[in-house]
Structure 1
Amino acid sequence: MARHNIVFGRDQAVQGGANYNAPRFGQSAQAAPAQNTQWSSGFAPQGHAPTATGQPGAEQLEAMYARPSATGHDTGRMTFKDALNAITASLGVIVVVGFVVATSPYALSFVAGDAGAQAGLALTGLATLVGVIGGLVAALVNIFKKQPSPVAVLAYAVFEGLFLGGISGTMEFFYAGIALQAVVGTLAVAGTVLVLFRMGILRTSPKLTKIFMVAMIAYMLFSLVNIGAMLLAGQSLREGALGLAIGGLAVVMASYSLVMDFEDVQRASDSGMPRVYAWRLAFGISVTMVWLYVEVLRILMILRGSD
């Protein structure tokens, strides 16, 4: 379906989420009765004991009907709470790992002075490199893996925590307070999108999704050209007014991607998909939030650098 996030574009299970209301995963449907089947009410005539047909009596039936209905936990189906737990776990790992790495220059400078600060900057640089490579590998594993894996999603969260903590710690050393500003800006954008989505104001559409896909391809091509310019000429194209324009467009694209993520969570919860798919949804939102934070941080770097 066109409305699905690109992260889930290859996932037939998410695309066909509505079909998960059918009995599966250990829940077999009752077969249609054969012809000439003799039906029995299971109740004996008044004044007589129940027939010895193996059918439950009136008291047993009443007790069965009085039982609470099966929950998502009982059936193995995903609920909104399952998705929320997985999302909280993955984003929590990113935040914790990122905070530890980002504050390492200040922690080491407090212990060993300037030498500790330099060691902390070297650590953030190494964390950034490891996070970029490891995050890319973990992302590919999660995208192409047929069945969602909590371990793979949490591994991705660890690597992204290293990456975000590395770049945040480095930028914080040169632009004091920029990391906190980026966090506040990211939460403000994501919170606004969530509120507007809950109010029913923000929704995706096939036409907007096509525009999003074209813009995404153009953005990726520009990023490749920018990397080439940095390697060959040592000059970034994402500076000044052009950098701010590209950054603003990227924030809008990330916000739309977040709307698609929210719709996927809502759709998957309503369709009763297997509980493990909550981790696929958590992975998608983690990817979008990392992208949004990086773009907000880049915009702040341009603004702070022009002071």
Structure 2
Amino acid sequence: MAFGGNPVFANNKNFSDKPPVPQAPQGYAAQGYGQTGYATPPPVYTPEQLQGMYNQPPASNAQMGRMTYDDVLMKTLGTLGLVVVGAAVGWVFPILLLPGMIVGLVLGLVNAFKKEPSKALILAYALFQGFFLGALSGVLEARFSGIVFQAVLGTLIVFGLTLALYKSGKFRATPKMTRFFMIALGGYAIFSLVNIGLVMFAGMASPWGARGIMVFGIPLGVIIGIFAVGLATYSLILDFTSIEQGVKNGLPAKYSWSAAFGLTVTLIWLYVEILRILALLRGNN
């Protein structure tokens, strides 16, 4: 999911848990064995051959062209690697901040609403988001030394803890929590759009807009940011759930790109929120 879970896994109607109905060989079902008197008789196997065939391991998901955890991992590492490459370019050329943000947002929405995953569009999203992240990180690092390392470390810690809790079964997505997540995500999106409008058109002194307003001595952006980190964490749970269901249901391997896209979006979101919280806290000191 672009913001937590890929709907393609839940809504895909081209795949079913029911195995396909086996069809009889054409020579027997269509023509009927012995109908012409010249049909090839079925092969005869010895008991040892039959036992050997029975003892063979079943074909894996990878051998059948289906989605696997390894495939998702490799594709996710590929998209994140491209984000890093783009970030290195954006770090050197801060002018790419705005183009990277706008193009990355458009590509993110296109990928989120596409029914079929597009490798090219997903990789393009990763590259442009890298431009944006690199430019933003470079600007903030110049002002607050060490902030990028802290944000990266914080992102890895949240990801690792969330994955560990999910694998242990202690943190799972529920319908009630998912409904709350969607409502909260909508509210957060509206706040973010309004805040961007305030920064661009209201002439607010703070570059953070309404996030820079102090509430009980704490920047509003810190409170909003902590809330957003919680949303991103639950988004990771939805991503993990989508991947697990996709593998269990035997989705085609191409949907590994959807899973990689969902994880990449969530990790970028998580990093930006942590980076912004740190910048607000250090700027307030």
Task: With the length of structure 1 as denominator, give the TM-score of the two structures.
Answer: 0.78
What amino acid does structure 1 have at the position aligned with 2:61? G
Cα distance in 2, alignment partners of residues 259 and 22 from structure 1: 27
1:213 aligned onto 2:182: yes
2:38 paired with 1:69: no
Give 1:206 deviation, angstroms.
1.0
What corresponds to 1:271 in structure 2?
249
2:268 counterpart (281, 287, 290): 290
1:16 CA drift (Å): 4.4
Report the number of matched residues.
268
Instruction: Find 2:23's aligned residue among 23, 31, 35.
Output: 31
Query: Could you list the runs of 5+ residues in structure 1 that have no partner in the other structure?
Result: 40-51, 105-122
CA root-mean-square deviation: 2.9
Selected match of 1:198 from 149, 167, 173: 167
2:36 is matched with which residue? Answer: none
Counterpart for residue 68 of structure 2: 79
Partner of 2:229: 251
Query: What's the TM-score once normalised by structure 2's chain length?
Result: 0.84
Correspondence 1:113-192 to 2 at 5 A: 123-124=93-94, 126-192=95-161
- Deviation of residue 6 (structure 1)? 5.4
Query: How far apart in 2 are the matches of 1:76 and 1:20?
Result: 15
Which AA in structure 1 matches 2:42?
A: G
Question: 2-side partners of 1:212 and 1:146: how far apart?
Answer: 22
TM-superposed deviation, 1:19: 4.3
- What does residue 6 of structure 2 align with? 8
Partner of 2:210: 237
**Aligned AA (1:31):** Q
Does the 8 Å contact 1:17/1:268 carry over to 2? no
Deviations 1:61-97 (A, max 9, x none): 3453344421222211111111111111111221232
**1:299 is matched with which residue?**
277
Alpha carbons 1:142, 1:149 under 8 Å: kept = yes
Residue in structure 1 matching 2:41, options 53, 68, 71: 53
Q: Which has the larger radius of gyration?
A: 1
| Structure number with higher relative contact order (C-alpha < 8 Å, ≥ 6 residues apart) | 2
Q: Distance in 1 between matches of 2:108 and 2:12?
A: 22
Q: Find 2:86's aligned residue among 97, 100, 104.
A: 97
What is the distance in 1 between the residues matched to 2:202 and 2:234?
A: 33
SS in 2 for 1:237: helix
Q: 1:150-169 deviations in whole A, cap 9, x for unaligned? A: 22211111111111111001
Could you tell me whether the CA contact under 8 Å between 1:229 and 1:237 is conserved in 2? yes
- Residue 56 of structure 1 and its aligned partner are, at CA, apart by 3.0
Deviates more, 1:159-168 or 1:92-101: 92-101
State the distance in 1 between where 2:137 and 2:176 align. Answer: 36
- Match for 1:237: what amino acid? A
Q: What displacement does 1:182 show?
A: 0.9
Give unpaired runs (5+ residues) of structure 2: 34-39
State the match for 2:197 in structure 1: 228
Q: Percent sequence identity over matched residues?
A: 42
With 226-235 and 272-281 compared, the bigger mean Cα shift is at: 226-235
* 306 and 280 in structure 1: CA distance in 2 versus 1, 3 angstrom threshold: same
- Partner Cα distance (2:239, 2:259) in 1: 7
